[in-house]
Structure 1
Amino acid sequence: MKIFKLSLRNRIFISMILLVLGASILIAGVTVYQYTQESEAYHKERLERKEQAIRENIKFVLDKTTHVVSTENIPVILKERDKIYEMSQVHEMQLNIYDLTGRLLIKSNESFFRDTTNVQIPKQIIQNLETSPTKRFLKKSEINGQKSQSSYTYIHDNQFKPLAILYLPYLQDDEVLQKDLNDFLMKLGEVYLFMLLAAILMSYFLSKYITKSLKIVSEKIIETRLDKRNQKIQIENVSEEIYTLVSAYNSMIDELEESAVKLATGEREQAWREMAKQVAHEIKNPLTPMRLTVQSFQRNFNPKDPNVIMKLNEYSETLIHQIDTMSAIASAFSNFAKMPAQQNEILNVPKTVKLALDIFNENYIQFSSEKEEILVKFDRTQLIRVITNLVKNATQALQDVKDPKILVEVEEEETSVKVSVLDNGVGISEENKDKVFEPKFTTKSSGMGLGLAMVKNIVETYGGSINFESNKNKGTIFTVRFPK
């Protein structure tokens, strides 16, 4: 559900609004129910009071009459001096009196209330009246949407013997109570409207205040990096829960910095160890043939040998060759370790690239440029080193290819110069693609694996980029771009 995806701030805001609305609806419902119950109780008590007063009045009339008090004489007694009409007007009630079988004896002519009774009381009502412990039966009904109550009770003589049945129809007039209820609900609505507006403002600022600290913490967590110094969170006047969260974050930052220092130190030490191993390994390679050459010269040297001069020259050339190899190793590591000095000069890229290709004797190397002159600011020596390393790698990838081809292209783009070196060699396998620019990585039996790492270092120093595309046994394209 979308409600569960809302932010904490929106949840707090909506919850407070719903709480106020729910409380107002609940109180309004309880109020209406309470008014309804009070209205029912009021009309019930009012009918009981009128019934009691009318019965007392009838009893008084029966006590003062000169007629024999009996069921048959009741109409005569109550019509004397219009007593029944007088009681009807005084109590504002219609009076109907029936005999004990439910037959109408007399009724008032008062028409203030609508007469809905018949001349005969239903037998079911008489049975309910007879079995009632209080000898009183109350019937509720609704006529044309207006509620009414009908009271049935006995009229007794002086010996409490039932003489007749008194029927009082009573229509509930709720106009006054309904008006009071409407007035109360109107005032309640005004109060809760004010409370709702206050709750909206309060919930807005409260949710903003509560989530402000959490937002700061979340932003700091998102900005946390292992490779840089992270700032601690400084927040005042926050709740205990937020303070605990901030303290945990600050402790994590301290531990993260310690771990970063240890990791960096370990990486540097490991890099130096690997470099030392590589240098030692590369230097040992020419030292072994040098040692063997010297030992052989020592054992076989004969000053009287007529070919001594020739053999001495051979031994010397072997040693010089191995010494040159060691010098090349030292220079390669030195060049890789230091950043190339940016001695910018205005270069014509096609001309410089073509000059770099002149040192290669392979006739399958082709050069192409869309323009004869593309001027950039670059270091001539470094550009030549980039081209020679890329072309040298391409030639080494073509050793087992029957129809080798290398194409070096120079193109001018809007803000940069693009140099591509294409070959149809063996390509680079998928498992080696991520290692191409790593120092020490090489797939050749000889070499130190520093060429492409050095090329990448030079290109990126000048704000450029290098990438490649390769398909196994189809060829590789190295593309270098650097800004003009």
Structure 2
Amino acid sequence: MILLVVIASLLIAAVTIYQSREQSKDYHENRLERKEEQILQSISYVLKETTYPETTENLEFIFQDEIYKIADVQNVPFNIYDLEGTLIKSSRPSFEIDSISNCLDAEVLNNLVASPDRRYVEEKTAAGDNYKASYTYINNTKFKPIGIVNLPYFEDNTFNNMELREFLLRLGGVYLIMLLSAIVLAYFISKYITRSLQTISDKITQTDLTKRNEKIYIENPSQEIGKLVDSYNGMIDELEASAVKLARSEREQAWREMAKQVAHEIKNPLTPLRLTVQSFERKFSPEDPKAETKVKEFSKTLIQQIDTMSNIASAFSNFADMPAQQKETLNVVKIVKLALEIFTEDYIHFISDKDEIIAKLDRTQLIRVVTNLVKNAIQAVPDVESPRILVTVASEQDTVKISVADNGIGIADDFMDKIFEPKFTTKSSGMGLGLGMVKNIVENYDGTIDFASQEGKGTVFTVKFPKE
């Protein structure tokens, strides 16, 4: 609407200016023709009344005084030339004679001769104004040309231009009011039209698969908006039903996977335990002089397998039942150093850009994050000639960054998407719960964990925690 008003105003202004110029051009052409006709009528009257023969040579005498009378009556100056283009008489004062051409150009004479109506109008521009000069033959009473009358004419458009400016100002004022009205009207109309659409857009933006979504209720919607609202509400119903089924399926799948993992991990120590008991039953004899030693070895083996099963149970318990977070103000640099003290490997190095970086975190869970990442790094460098693990702590505006880098075997591209899955592991032992637990801890603090790895060159894990 606004664009149409602006375009209309510009088009009307352009058409008005064009029309005004065309009218002014037609006005001056008609005025010049009228003046020329009046001059010719006056000249014809003088020729009829004169006693001189009507020849070119006598024009100077015929119009010696009459040229001034005609110019005064018609209020326009003019000049008389002979048929060769030489000036014979001018109505202008003598001191202006120098500014009058004493001889017409050959081009003017040729155009005048070639003109079918025996008339030629020359157009020029002088001092910023349009200048016209008409040339017409003077005929005697026998319609024989005996001279040429020249009528100079300056177009004065001052009044027309002033009228045009006033009109455009009035038109501009009217269209300014129309433009403002169109803006206001367009605003309210667009608000009315898009109000329902904005409500639908907001609801679609707020749609979340993890929570219950509200339906849209609009009073007296249009037919099209009503269909759109009904479609959205139907989609919400289907989405909720699908989310319930998906959640139930995921829970069941997770429990099945966890049960399989637990069963697998428990079976691992049970097999050697069973074989040990069976072997002990077959070979043990109370009379054997080494019976006591064999009982001790048997007991030691049982205890080792029982400890393994206990560790498995503890790991699953820790992953499934994370302790509640206790936010406390602590020095992250100090806690990370403390977490590294349990490791005896001399290729583990620590760097921090500050001695103190304060954040609100759980001390125990922070230590668990660091130790799990370092353990993974240690397990990645057993076959490296010069192993190196670098732990860094840095402050970045409102976050604290902890990085653990190693020059180990790296992570294959096929495994990168699965690295944080609880049941995933590339090692021959262990349950693959460490990185899943680390990710769980980090995300509970609204932090982030990511990694960069190149197979055969090493891996860098980066954890970022908010300071508050």
TM bucket (normalised to shorter chain) is 0.5 to 0.7
Q: What stretches of structure 2 of length at least 5 have no aligned partner?
A: none
Deviations 1:124-153 (A, max 9, x none): 959956x8765x434546696643323214
Offset, 1:48: 2.2
- Equivalent residue number for residue 450 of structure 1: 433
**Partner letter of residue 154 of structure 1?**
N
Higher radius of gyration, 1 or 2: 1
Cα distance in 1 for residues equivalent to 2:458 and 2:126: 98
Cα distance in 1 for residues equivalent to 2:459 and 2:89: 121
Distance 1:434 1:148, change over 3 A: same
Picking from 19, 23, 26, the partner of 1:30 is: 19
8 Å contact kept, 1:71–1:164: no
8 Å contact kept, 1:96–1:166: no
Cα distance in 2 for residues equivalent to 1:95 and 1:384: 112
Q: Look up the SS of the partner of 1:442 in the other structure.
A: coil
- Equivalent residue number for residue 317 of structure 2: 334
Q: What stretches of structure 1 of length at least 5 have no aligned partner?
A: 1-11
- Equivalent residue number for residue 150 of structure 1: 135
8 Å contact kept, 2:325–2:362: yes
1:275 aligns with 2:258: yes
Distance 1:380 1:288, change over 3 A: same
Deviations 1:239-298 (A, max 9, x none): 999x69987995898499567667656554543443233233323334444555677678
Summarize the alignment of residues 82-481 of structure 1 with structure 2, pairs less than 5 Å apart. 90=73, 125=109, 136-140=118-122, 146-156=131-141, 161-162=142-143, 165=146, 167-172=148-153, 174-175=155-156, 178-195=157-174, 197-198=176-177, 201=180, 205=184, 213=194, 220=202, 254=236, 257=239, 267-289=250-272, 292=275, 300=282, 306=287, 322=305, 324-342=307-325, 389=372, 393=376, 396=379, 426=408, 428-429=410-411, 431=413, 436-458=419-441, 461=444
Q: Normalising by the residue count of structure 1, what TM-score does the alignment of the two structures yield?
A: 0.59
8 Å contact kept, 1:340–1:458: no
8 Å contact kept, 2:339–2:371: no
8 Å contact kept, 2:329–2:361: yes
Q: Normalising by the residue count of structure 2, what TM-score does the alignment of the two structures yield?
A: 0.61
Amino-acid identity (%): 38
Q: Look up the SS of the partner of 1:439 in the other structure.
A: coil
Offset, 1:445: 0.9
Deviations 1:8-47 (A, max 9, x none): xxxx978865763454244223312321122112221332
Q: CA RMSD in A?
A: 6.7
Distance 1:337 1:16, change over 3 A: farther
Deviations 1:379-403 (A, max 9, x none): 7876776676566556655655789
Distance 1:429 1:18, change over 3 A: same
8 Å contact kept, 1:95–1:166: no
8 Å contact kept, 2:85–2:109: no
Offset, 1:448: 0.4
**Partner letter of residue 151 of structure 1?**
T
Cα distance in 2 for residues equivalent to 1:380 and 1:120: 110
Cα distance in 1 for residues equivalent to 2:19 and 2:42: 34
Q: Look up the SS of the partner of 2:140 in the other structure.
A: strand
Distance 1:306 1:404, change over 3 A: farther
**Partner letter of residue 149 of structure 1?**
S
8 Å contact kept, 2:108–2:120: no
- Equivalent residue number for residue 40 of structure 1: 29
Distance 1:459 1:34, change over 3 A: closer
8 Å contact kept, 1:469–1:476: yes
8 Å contact kept, 2:381–2:409: no
**Partner letter of residue 424 of structure 2?**
F
Cα distance in 2 for residues equivalent to 1:194 and 1:238: 39
